[in-house]
Amino acid sequence: MKNSINKNLWIGIILILITSCKKDFLEVKPNKALLVPTTLSDFDALLDNNASMNRSVYGPIVASDDLVAPDAAFNNASFTIKSAYSWGEIGYGGDLQVDWIYSYVQIFYSNIVLDGLEKIKENESIAYKNVKGSALFFRAFAASQLLMSYTLAYQKSTALKELGIPILLTSDVNQKYSRGNLQQSYDQVISDLKEASSLLTLTSSNAYRPNKAAAHGLLSRIYLSMGNYQSALLEADNSLKLSSKLIDYTMLTLNPLTATNPYPKIFPINLNPEVLFHAGVGQPFVNAATTAVNPEIVSAYANNDLRKAGMLYDRGGGLFTFKGRYSGSTVYFSGVAVNEVLLTRAECLVRSNKPLEALADLNSLLIYRYKTGAYQPYTISNTPNVLKLILAERRKELLFTGLRWLDLKRLNLEPDHAVTLTRTINGKTHVLLPNSNRYAFQIPDEEIIVSGIEQNLK
């Protein structure tokens, strides 16, 4: 079914646009009739709205097994959070979830820019190409977040039958849309990122704006989620050729959490060479003092692994708080970074029967994560299962980025790596089986009622 865009969705988008527009843009054009952007500088400024354009989804973090929460924290959470944490077993709320609306805010902003750029004649300049490439990247990033949250894992054999997401390609509020199929959704994201990678500059003005390496890096993530390991390998390699510098954890000041320093800036955004593109989200439930890192992950870190001290705070009693945010704040980083891209390349190499090269990539990362002189490189002779090792290190390295949810979905398609998740909430055990329909969150009831698009199966 195709319908005009949900009126209430647009009301929400407009309110967010009004409250989050750049102050200087509003000051320059205080007259409401003049608020329509017209110049290349105007369109560039729209993309600098960090509060909207660099926001990611929190549902995958809440739903993943990175996090454990006591009953008290769960009982005080919003219904939407309870739904995500219990994998929908307590039902779903009718509120217009912020994950859904903010992703479409990003798409709307991007489309305003792309539509407006068509009217500008200076379309061969480097600045023009970079603004267009940025808008395409932001649209693709938002769509990728929606795919991670609201669709099932990609399978080539079923992608033409599975539901995708509404991909809006114009800012026209009267456009018709439907969910389409999953293949169409992925094809559009790939198309946007390929074009973006050809237009973006090698470097960006700051971490909130994408560059060429970020586009290739995000594209490698998309291909990895599709099980297209050859393309993921190619794009990861393209990204790392442009930017491959890693943080040396031995050079960090691993400040502990304190009452006056609850979020020590171990990884300042613009000083972190690993960040290719910054995006993140803050969530009170995840930040709550009573929630904790899954003990299973904590026990996986070796004593000489500096990630344990750099990313985790020991609260005592076997409870650890995650503090290793690449944002250096309460915001959880979920953008694109070199460490993820390097691990993607390592995984794709071993899946391409190149275990030596895969271990070389893994060793090049881990040498910077251990105490000086403590790391013993992995070799073929001491590593019976290279893929299993790389996946285990990916889990430890990308903690609380939301990517665990994406990995669970794709790896559940492989019996050797499938995981059954369990949680006990208020005395009741909740179970999420591999490939369950509940890996695709329910679309907000409000959207379904007004637009008539199809709901995900429970």
Query: pLDDT (tens digit, 9 = 90+) per residue, 59-92?
Result: 999 999 999 999 999 999 888 899 999 998 765 5
Interior angle at CA 309, CA 305 and CA 343, nearest 5: 50
**Structural domain contains residue 134:** yes
The answer to whether residue 318 is domain-embedded is no
Average pLDDT score, the chain: 88
* 273 found inside a domain: no
Residue-wise pLDDT tens digits, 189-219:
999 999 999 999 999 999 999 999 999 999 9
Domain contains 292: no
pLDDT the model gives residue 27: 32
CATH of the domain at 31: 1.25.40.390
- Report how far residue 67's alpha carbon sits from residue 342's, in angstroms, rounded to the nearest whole number: 24
* pTM across the whole model: 0.91
| pLDDT confidence of residue 1 | 47
For residue 93, what pLDDT band results from cuts at 50, 70 and 90? low
Tell me the one-letter amino acid at 44: D
At residue 267 the predicted structure's pLDDT band, cuts being 50, 70 and 90, is low
Average pLDDT value for residue range 388-398 = 98
3-state per-residue secondary structure call for the chain: CCEECCHHHHHHHHHHHHHHCCHHHHHHCCCHHHCCCCCHHHHHHHCCCHHHHCECCCHHHHHCCCEECCHHHHHCCCHHHHHHHCCCCCCCCCCCCHHHHHHHHHHHHHHHHHHHHCCCCCCCCHHHHHHHHHHHHHHHHHHHHHHHHHCCCCCCCCCCCCECCCCCCCCCCCCEECCCEHHHHHHHHHHHHHHHHHHCCCCCCCCCCCCHHHHHHHHHHHHHHCCCHHHHHHHHHHHHHHCCCCCCHHHCCCCCCCCCCCCCCCCCHHHCCCEEECCEECCHHHHCCCCEECHHHHCCCCCCEHHHHHHEEEEECCEEEECCCCCCCCCEECCEEHHHHHHHHHHHHHHCCCHHHHHHHHHHHHCCCECCCCCCCCCCCCCCCHHHHHHHHHHHHCCCCCHHHHHHHHHCCCHHHCCCEEEEECCEEEEECCCCHHHCCCCCHHHHHHHCCCCCCC
Answer yes or no: is 440 within a domain.
yes
Using alpha carbons only, what angle is made at residue 43 by residues 106 and 235, rounded to the nearest 5 degrees?
60
Cβ atoms 309, 254 nearer than 8 A: yes
pLDDT, tens digit, 9 for 90 and up, residues 179-190: 999 999 999 999
Q: Which residue has the tokens 């030596």?
A: 356
Confidence of residue 269 (pLDDT cuts 50, 70, 90): low
* CB-based contact 243:338 (threshold 8 Å): yes
Residue 426 lies in a domain: yes
Residues 6+ apart with CB under 8 A from 218: 137, 140, 141, 144, 193, 277, 336
The number of folded domains in the chain is 1
pLDDT attached to residue 260 = 55
- Domain membership flag for residue 287: no
- pLDDT-derived band at 283 (thresholds 50, 70, 90) equals confident
Which residue segment(s) compose the domain that 165 sits in?
A: 3-250+334-451
Residue 21 has pLDDT above 50, yes or no: no
Tell me if 360 sits within 8 A of 248, measured CB to CB: no
Is residue 63 one of the residues assigned to a domain? yes
pLDDT (mean) for 27-41: 59
Q: How far is CA 115 from each of CA 26, 128, 130, 232, rounded to the nearest angstrom?
A: 21, 13, 15, 30
Q: Are residues 29 and 252 in contact, defined by beta-carbon separation less than 8 angstroms?
A: no
